[in-house]
Structure formats: structure tokens, C-alpha cells
Structure 1
Amino acid sequence: MSDNTLFIVDDEKTIRDGIKAFFEDEYRIFAYDSAETGLDALQVYHPDLVLLDIGLPGMNGIEALKHIRAVRPDVLVVMITAYEDITSVIECMKLGAYDYIVKPLHMEGLGVTIANALETLRLRKEIKSLQENQLRDQAPFFIGESQVIHDIMAYIEKVAKSPDTPVLIQGETGTGKELMASTIHHRSPNFAGPLITVNCAAIPGELIESELFGYEKGAFSGASATGKKGLIEMADKGTLFLDEIGDLSLDAQAKLLRFMEQGEFYKVGGTRRKKVFTRVVSATNKDLEMMVETNQFREDLYYRISVVKIQVPSLSQRPEDLKLFADYFLKLFNQKFDRNLMGISPSAWALMETHPWKGNVREMKNIMESGVLTAEGPELTPGDLGLDGRNSRKAERHQSLLPLKPLTQEGVDLNAIRFRLDAFYFTQAMKLADGNESRAARLLNLKHHVFRYQYKQFLAQQENT
């Protein structure tokens, strides 16, 4: 016998007894002769499937279906009807019935209907479990005690139910915009489809069209002999995540707009129109409305991508969650590095509470990882976390940068000079750009993807010195 429970609600005793006799070796079965008694039992038991007669005395099956869907929306309902009344059947299906069967009942056919319904229920539970696991993996970006994060997660639950409504996610660097896009995808009807992420800032302007839409063989010099499928086509029946959309050139914005308006596109060098079904989720740390006013971002595209807008709060907007994050990362990195640190010292915690956290949750994660890995005492100290005069040490490191010394017979340490140059200008650029990598790249006259690569190399070298 399986673990599945079935309710039979039918006023005909022969129907109830017949179904029970035929399937009682396979399922736990409870039979009721009226909607009222069945609904009372629903308060005590949690069936997986209800076989519900439409033509019941007293409360009819359609009214009972409404009650079931209201109190137990996860329970599947198969309607039983004495004759195929199309109007009643359509009404039941609109109300959420899984299927319907017509009397006289054929037990073998009913068995197939029950098996299909329970398999559907199993798959729904499996998807829900995967979605919940995915959300847990992204903690603590989207868990916390602050009301603002609870409100956002409740809003995401609503927004995710649509398979195609465009969403714009805005927030500072390090707040978890990409993880939020992933959450929307994994909790949406497109869950089984692909989630394709496009870093708009990392694709050179001259390549954006071929990357997004793909190209046919021989479309241009250097094109692959077999052509290439674009990122938009790869996102068919799933979600297309356009990260850092504020960094798209105006020319690229125009090409994206055509796709957003029509859902259709042509590959570069192609003549055959292609159509895909995908949800577009965009993210940026820029003020797109201000960019629209200054003609840096197309107004028509802005309204296309921002049907739903989500503002991700910075860490400074949710100070009540600081302790939660710190405890979470302490536990996480204790496990990762096989450490047994007991906590954070009062002096370290005092500095953490007043730290600006411009890098948001990502910055805290990095600081805690470094601290747990290198700490020597039973608690994390200000020194372990790099919060004891870190800025003054940076200043000292840069004081000796300029002017450069002339080359002599003694030679110079060119690698050290290059490191000091990188340290000085990368730090200054990120400070002037308020942590925005795209703006910092422009200050240094570098392509964004080149800046990101070199900056990551610098940070890795800095950690090793």
C-alpha cells in the first residue's frame, strides 16, 4: 500500500463501496456521503486526492470544490459527474479541478486517472522541495529579521508566479541582485527551463548583437563555420537575466527593445525570423530614471523592462540583520575551514556595527571568510576582520608611490612598482566611483571587462602580500 490518502465524496453508496473495494489495497481511502461531512474530515485529515461528485444533495460538488481550493489548495480534486455536462465541467476546471470522470465508472480507467493525478502531485512536491533548497542555498541574502526583507520575499512570491512579466531589480553592489533573479526563476512556472545570465557590461558593444541573437555561418569575418546560437535563444522557455543592463550602449538598447516589443529576432546574417518565449529579468546598480533624463538610457526600453520593479535594500537599511549575517558566516566558515571559533569579540562587534558596509553582504562575507581562516584566538578580533585601522594602512601603502624614482644601475623591482600603481589607481577609481566598477573602468579609460579582470588580479595579489 502506498502512503497516499484518497477521499471519496459521493451520495451513492454503491459508488463509494465500489471504489473503496477496488483500490483499498493500494491507497488509504475515506468515504463520505455528503460535501459537508467531507469538508469536516478535511479539517482533520490531509488527503492527496479527492474524488468529488458534482451532483451532491445539500452543498453540491462545485461549491465543495471552492471550499477545498480555499482551505487546501495543494489537494488535487477529480470531479465525478453522472453525465458530461460541458458547462459544469468547464466551471470545475476553471475553479482548479485536476480532471473529471463520467459515470458509470470503469475502475481500470479510474485507476489511470488516480495514478496520473498522484504523479502530478509528486512532481509538484519535488519541484517545491528543489525551490526551497535553492532559496536556502542563497541564505542569508534573503532571510532576516528586518521587515524590509520579509516584505521583499513576500513580493517575490507574487511576482514569480508570472511566466513572462519583465522584472527590474535595482540595488547597490553586493546586495544579491543576481541571487534574487535566480530566486524569481526557480519559483516561477519557468523553473524547469534554463536561467541564462548575460553580463551586459562585459560584452563589447560591437559583439552584443551576435552574443544576444546569435549568428549564421559566414555572417561576418571570423564567424564560426557552423554559426552560433544566441543567449536569447538559449533562454527559450526559461529566464533571461540581463545583469548590469545600465551599461548597455544606446545601439545595443535599440536592438534589445525590438526583441522586447515583439518577442522575435533575426540572427546576425540570417533571414529567418525566430520567436522565443522567455521572461526577461534585468538588474542594475544605476539610477535608470536619471539616465533616461540625461539620454543615456532609452525611455521606451526602461518602461519595457520595468513592468515590475524591486529595490534590494542595502545592508545599512537592515541593521537588525547584521548579527544574523555575522552568525551565519561564522558558522559557514567554521565548517568550511574546520575551525571552532566561539564568536566575535565585543570590540570587533562594536566596529562591525559602525562599519559603513559599502560592499553590503558580499563585503561582510569576504571579511568573515578571511577572519575565520586566519584568526588565532577563540574569538574574532578587530585585527582578524581587518577593521582596526585598515584605511590608515592603505594610506601608508600608497604614500610611497609617487614620484617614481629614475632607473639606475642598481635596478628596480618593477613588479612592486606595478603593484603600487595598481593599488593607488584602482583604489582611487573605486572610491571616486562609489564602488561602481563600470564608472571606475571609465575613469581609468579601460573596457569594463578588462577592468574587472585586472582588478580581480590585483585583489588576489593584494591578499597574498
Structure 2
Amino acid sequence: MRILIVDDNTTSLQSLRIVLSDLGHEPAPFTDPQLALEEARRNRYPLIITDIRMPRMDGLTLLKELKGSPDTETCDVVLITGHGDMETAVGALRHGAYDYLNKPINARELAAVVERSAEHQALLSENRDLRQHLDSRVNEVAGTLRRDLDEARTLLREVSGIGTVVSQSPATERVMNDARMFHNDPSVPVLIEGETGTGKEIIARLIHFGESGCEHPFVAINCAAIPHELFESELFGHEAGAYTGSRAGGSPGKLELAAGGTLFLDEVAEMPLTLQPKLLRVLEERTFYRVGGIRKREFRARVICAANIDLAGQVERGHFRRDLYHRLKVGHLVIPPLRERQEDIPALAGLFLKRQAERKRKKFTSISSEAMDVLLRHMWRGNVRELENTIERAVLVNDDPILKPEHIAFLNMDRSLHCGAESMGTIPLDIENLELPEAPIDLEALTTAIVQKALDRFDGNKSKAAAYLGISRFALHRRLQK
């Protein structure tokens, strides 16, 4: 073992060197403590033996310097004490000294101390090796867990649909930012409005899961798909014997199943009017009763609602409660139709192409500029859902590296069929051969009349009237305000 010895008395120093050499060790003698300290910092010495009483720097100061440095803190320091230094030696033990030897030094005691130090250093070395191995394994496992977590997050984004949200347009970016904000406060109910196919449920999932995921449930109800007579039981659950055909032992409703997570009410405008006051009470008091139950239950979930029709208009027509509407609208998101955010089309189309090519094992990797022009010119009345279905259909029946116009030629055919079906039984407007009267035209009055006729045609449904006129519902709304 390499041993550094420090003593200003050369005779004592040489005696120590000889004894340690005879014991099979490698002593390095120093009479100057400062030089010894510098040597210890340059080269590792498992054991340092130093006299206490020395000029310029005593042994206790040297001990403190050694134990205060990362390079030398693990070395064993043995102090050599003379008569009257016993109290100092005991104090040195409290400062980290390994042991002490009394003068005159007994060779057997010296050999015993050195042997114990060698064992101690071997244990320290083994401990360091074990710690390094443990750190390496921990880092390896942590790396694996991080990769697994990243894969899980990627899968979550794909399964939930969150990965299909792209924000190339300012309008979509605003929706995304608001969704992230609402994610941080689960006490705020959120109302999401937008045309069919704009991705309202995907935004609802983004609010629930956030960017990093959420372990709590996301429970969705399509209000239009549940018979009115079963809606209350579906939402609130029921106790045993609550009604004919109820489950023995009762059954929890969606309010309970969503505990800690999110309850998503899609097409909320279709909720029975008679149940809307009960939902309002749940939101206000955060408690509810099962159907046929007498025990009050706590409601602990976020509520997100979605509507593809003008909910404010439904309120005005008495089809939806005003107080519930305003309670749901604390957080409000409006998703513009795809035709009003064309900047998102290239990114969405590229994302869908990549996904479908991987799923169907096709060659597609990119979209030609000509095909992209076709996609940008299309009206996308079905919004993002229609775009995704279009790409899937093109990939299904073709297999080329580049998506070309001929792969999506069915878009023009579908549009012709759609226009033809809408015009059956009516006299189509011949735009090319339109003849104007001699008298001046009140364009504003004519536009208002057309809009009113469209609303009458669809019984006041603004979404259908807007689609019929080829404008967005929000453009129609602005026209009505004007």
C-alpha cells in the first residue's frame, strides 16, 4: 500500500520509512507538510501518517485540509502524538482522523494500524465499485423507463388522437394554448363548439391528458346516441330495483366512472331538457344521487361538453337551458372549420399520409404540389375527419411514393354527386348565364333574402344553412349580426 508520511524530524521520518518498507509497503517521506499536502492532492495515498507538532502547518491543520478536499477526503489519516498531545489527538478523531499512535512508536502497533487501514480502504474501494455499478444500473433502468414512457406517450397521443392536432394556423394555435391552460385547472367546465369533424373530442382529450399524459379516466358520452328514457341512469347510475330491468346490486353511472378524471359530453345539445337542471345542480354542488338512491355521492371530475350546432341559438329557441349554457361556458373554445384554416391542411395531410402508409405498409412518403393544390381548393365540409378519410382512401387503393392528383380524383366526383343531390327537384342557379335586371339591385337586401331563405329551408339550423351557402357558420353569424 502507498503510504505518505510527514514529520519534520528526519530521524523519526527515516525510522518510519524503514519499518513500513520492511512491512512491504511503499512509503513516501516528507518533512514539509505543505509539500506533502500538494503531493497527496496530485497522487492518491490510501494512508497518510503525520506528526501533530510541526512548524508552518501542524498535523491537525493538515488533517482538516485533507478531509476538506474531494481528492483526499477518503484517505485514512493517522496522527503521531507526543506527551501532552492526547487531548489534541482525541479532538482529531472527531475531525475525521482514522487513528493515532503514541511516541515512541511501537512497530507492532504501527503494523496493526496499517493493516486495519488497508482493510478499511479495501472496503471503501469495494463500496465505490458497488455504488458505481448501482449508478450504472439505475441509469440504464432509468433510460429504459424513459424510452418506455416516451413510447407510451407516443401511443397515447396516437390512440387518443392528440397527435392529429397541428397548429400551423393562428386560430388553431389559440385553441391549443387555451386547451393547455384549461388542462391546469380541472375545476373549470369547458364548452367546445365547432362543426362536425373539426376534432372537438380530440381537443377535449388534449385538455384531459395535457402534453405528458394523465392516469385518470376519460369517460365520453354521445348524448345523441342514448335514448332519452335511459339517459338519467346512464349518467347518474342506479340503485338495485330502481326500475324494471335494472341491474341487481345497482350500477354506477358515468359521473362515478369519471372520478378524478374527465366526463366528456359530446353533442350536449341533444341532452334531454328535463335532465339539464340535474346536471346544473351537479356542477354547482359537486354531488348527486343515483336513480332510486338516497345516499348523496360526491362528484369529482372535470366536465367538458361539445356541440356541433349553435348552442346559443338553441338557448334562444328554448331547446337548451340558459343557466346551464352559461355554467358550461366558463371555459369556451371555438374550433374553426378546416376551410377557414387552410394553413393546417398540408401538415394534417402529411401526418395522415405517414400514418396510413405505415399502417397499410404502403410506399407513400410525400404529397405532390399538384395534389396539395387539389386538397387546398377542396371545401372540406366534413373538416379534418373528411381529410383523414380522403387520405386513407387514397392510400388504400394506391401504392406510390408520392400522392398525386389522380389518387384523389374521387374528390371532384364526390363533389359533383353532392351538388347534384342537393339540386334535385330545384332549379339550379346558372352562374355563367345569369342575367341581371335593368333596374338597380340592392345587393345587401338580396344577400339578406338569400340568407333568410337558407335559414327557412333548414328550420333555422345555422350550421346546415351555412354549409348550403358555402360559408362558415361564423361567417353566417357575422352576416346575421350585420
- 1:389 and 2:420 aligned: no
Instruction: Output one character per residue of 1:333-368: Cα deviation in whole Å (capped at 9) or x when no partner.
Output: 222222213644555433322211011110000011
Number of the residue aligned with 2:404: 380
1:267 equivalent among 290, 305, 308: 290
Change (3 A) 1:233 1:132: same
Give 1:276 deviation, angstroms. 2.1
- 1:196 and 2:212 aligned: no
Instruction: Output one character per residue of 1:352-391: Cα deviation in whole Å (capped at 9) or x when no partner.
Output: 2221101111000001111111126664334644123323
Change (3 A) 1:131 1:299: farther
Number of the residue aligned with 2:432: none
How do 1:343-354 and structure 2 match up within 5 A?
A: 343-345=366-368, 347-354=370-377
How do 1:311-390 and structure 2 match up within 5 A?
A: 311-341=334-364, 343-345=366-368, 347-375=370-398, 379-382=403-406, 384-390=408-414
Matched to 1:261, the amino acid is E
- 1:220 and 2:249 aligned: no
Radius of gyration: which is bigger? Answer: 2
1:152 equivalent among 175, 178, 184: 175
Q: Under a length normalisation based on structure 1, what TM-score does the superposition of the two structures give? A: 0.56
Matched to 1:134, the amino acid is L
Give 1:205 deviation, angstroms. 1.2
Change (3 A) 1:389 1:136: closer
Change (3 A) 1:15 1:265: farther
Is the Cα contact below 8 Å between 1:162 and 1:189 reproduced in 2?
A: no
Report the secondary structure of 2:265's partner residue.
strand
Cα RMSD after superposing both structures:
4.0
Matched to 2:410, the amino acid is G
Deviates further, 206-215 or 327-336? 327-336
Change (3 A) 1:345 1:434: farther
Is the Cα contact below 8 Å between 1:196 and 1:234 reproduced in 2?
A: yes
Q: Point out where structure 1 has 5 or more consecutive residues left out of the alignment.
A: 1-12, 23-117, 402-428, 437-465
Matched to 2:203, the amino acid is M
Number of the residue aligned with 1:310: 333
Number of the residue aligned with 1:134: 156
Number of the residue aligned with 2:105: none
Matched to 2:244, the amino acid is S
Change (3 A) 1:233 1:356: same
Instruction: Output one character per residue of 1:387-410: Cα deviation in whole Å (capped at 9) or x when no partner.
Output: 233233467799999xxxxxxxxx
Number of the residue aligned with 1:67: none
Matched to 2:223, the amino acid is C
Give 1:127 deviation, angstroms. 7.8
Matched to 1:161, the amino acid is N
- 1:167 and 2:190 aligned: yes
Number of the residue aligned with 2:54: none
- Tell me the number of residue pairs that the alignment of Structure 1 and Structure 2 aligns: 302
Report the secondary structure of 1:250's partner residue.
coil
Number of the residue aligned with 1:109: none
Q: 2: CA distance between counterparts of 1:173 and 1:206?
A: 26
Q: 2: CA distance between counterparts of 1:338 and 1:128?
A: 24
Report the secondary structure of 1:198's partner residue.
strand
Matched to 2:172, the amino acid is I
Report the secondary structure of 2:389's partner residue.
helix
Is the Cα contact below 8 Å between 1:131 and 1:187 reproduced in 2?
A: no
Give 1:125 deviation, angstroms. 11
Q: Under a length normalisation based on structure 2, what TM-score does the superposition of the two structures give? A: 0.54
Is the Cα contact below 8 Å between 1:181 and 1:241 reproduced in 2?
A: yes
- 1:244 and 2:267 aligned: yes
- 1:276 and 2:299 aligned: yes
Q: 1: CA distance between counterparts of 2:360 and 2:147?
A: 34
Report the secondary structure of 2:303's partner residue.
strand
Number of the residue aligned with 2:59: none
Number of the residue aligned with 1:176: 199
Change (3 A) 1:308 1:21: farther
Q: 1: CA distance between counterparts of 2:328 and 2:68?
A: 54
Matched to 1:180, the amino acid is I
Matched to 2:197, the amino acid is G
